[in-house]
């Protein structure tokens, strides 16, 4: 074995390398119980704001059968909703996170009220870090749950290929974007896409918010206009739902010219590529 030995009960682990860590007691939920020791490929210790964790890297066959589905869905991530889809549904933004964020800000200000180098300041820093960690985890859990549901229910999920780093530079949008944990959400979509063998496709984002999903005309509107009202064909739709429909139509229009991406990281930068499949081909 490579530097560690798991106790037969799997409640203790001993590190046998020369760093002097020795035996550790494992607390919390032990998902590790489900896996035979032979499948554990790597073990490492990770430090988080609320303590140390032993991380097990387990080799498992990740693909799973999902219920058969032929449904295709386009999704538009916005500021008003976590996302809106081409069938007209809106997934609400998790407001509890915004509340928690206010609390975090207060705790953060607390740090600077304490004297530099004092133990009070150190403690305040710890409180801040733990609260921050909690919100990060809540966000992640939320994004994961939504992505899983969406992937299970649809054979094809089409989304916009947004340049998040470019958008976050705009400070007004920044908070809402991180709030909606869009990037994290997309990563989970790609993860579940692989797991359930579903297609997750990113299409170029240009004009999706102004194009008419019914006739293709370009209908200019400001950010505050919540309804798409086409002056050419008369089509009326909620703004984000119209965008989601346009997003879905983009992929159908592109069938036949989708290329695989044979190298590099396909997350968040690929344009109109089958991100899941191309990853497998690497």
Tell how far CA 57 is from the center of its chain. 21
Closest among 273, 266, 269, 219 to 246, alpha carbons compared:
219
The active-site residue, picked from 160, 179, 190, 199, is 160
Are 81 and 240 in contact, with CB atoms under 8 Å apart? yes
Minimum CB separation from Zn ion for residue 214, in Å? 4
Is 76 marked active-site? yes
- Closest CB to Zn ion among 53 and 235? 235
Is 240 marked active-site? yes
Is 85 marked active-site? no
Are 258 and 272 in contact, with CB atoms under 8 Å apart? yes
Closest among 229, 3, 28, 269 to 11, alpha carbons compared:
28
- Closest CB to Zn ion among 154 and 214? 214
Angstrom distance (rounded) from CA 190 to CA 265: 12
- Closest CB to Zn ion among 183 and 235? 235
The active-site residue, picked from 190, 199, 237, 240, is 240
Closest among 203, 153, 159, 208 to 185, alpha carbons compared:
159
Q: Two tokens at 91?
A: 């997934």
Binding stretches for Zn ion (CB under 5 A): 212, 214-215, 217, 230, 232-233, 235
Q: What angle do CA 31, 35, 36 make, to 5 degrees?
A: 145
- Closest CB to Zn ion among 180 and 219? 219
Angstrom distance (rounded) from CA 1 to CA 133: 33
| Residue-level length of the chain | 282
- Closest CB to Zn ion among 217 and 253? 217
Query: Residue 3 carries which DSSP code?
Result: S
**Residue keyed to tokens 């600077």:** 112
Minimum CB separation from Zn ion for residue 249, in Å? 12
| Catalytic residue list | 76, 160, 240
């Amino acid at each position: 074995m490579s530097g560690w030995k798991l106790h037969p009960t799997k409640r203790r682990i001993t590190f046998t390398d020369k760093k002097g860590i020795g035996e550790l007691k494992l607390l919390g939920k032990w998902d590790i119980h489900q896996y035979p020791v032979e499948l554990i490929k790597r073990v490492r210790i990770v430090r988080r704001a609320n303590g140390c964790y032993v991380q097990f890297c387990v080799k498992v066959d990740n693909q799973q059968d999902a219920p058969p589905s032929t449904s295709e869905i386009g999704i538009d991530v916005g500021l008003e909703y976590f996302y809106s889809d081409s069938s007209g549904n809106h997934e609400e933004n998790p407001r509890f996170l915004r509340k928690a964020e206010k609390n975090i800000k207060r705790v953060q200000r607390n740090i600077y009220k304490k004297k530099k180098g004092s133990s009070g300041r150190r403690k305040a820093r710890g409180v801040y870090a733990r609260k921050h960690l909690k919100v990060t985890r809540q966000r992640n859990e939320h994004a994961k749950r939504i992505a899983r549901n969406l992937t299970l229910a649809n054979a094809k999920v089409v989304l916009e290929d947004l340049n998040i780093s470019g958008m976050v530079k705009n400070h007004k949008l920044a908070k809402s974007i991180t709030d909606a944990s869009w990037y994290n959400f997309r990563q989970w979509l790609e993860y579940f896409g692989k797991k359930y063998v579903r297609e997750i496709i990113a299409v170029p984002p240009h004009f999706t918010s102004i194009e008419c999903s019914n006739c293709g005309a370009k209908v200019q509107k400001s950010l505050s206009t919540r309804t798409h009202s086409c002056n050419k064909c008369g089509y009326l739709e909620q703004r984000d739902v119209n965008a989601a429909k346009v997003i879905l139509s983009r992929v159908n229009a592109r069938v036949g010219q989708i290329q695989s991406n044979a190298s590099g990281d396909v997350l968040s930068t690929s344009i109109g590529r089958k991100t899941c499949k191309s990853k497998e081909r690497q």
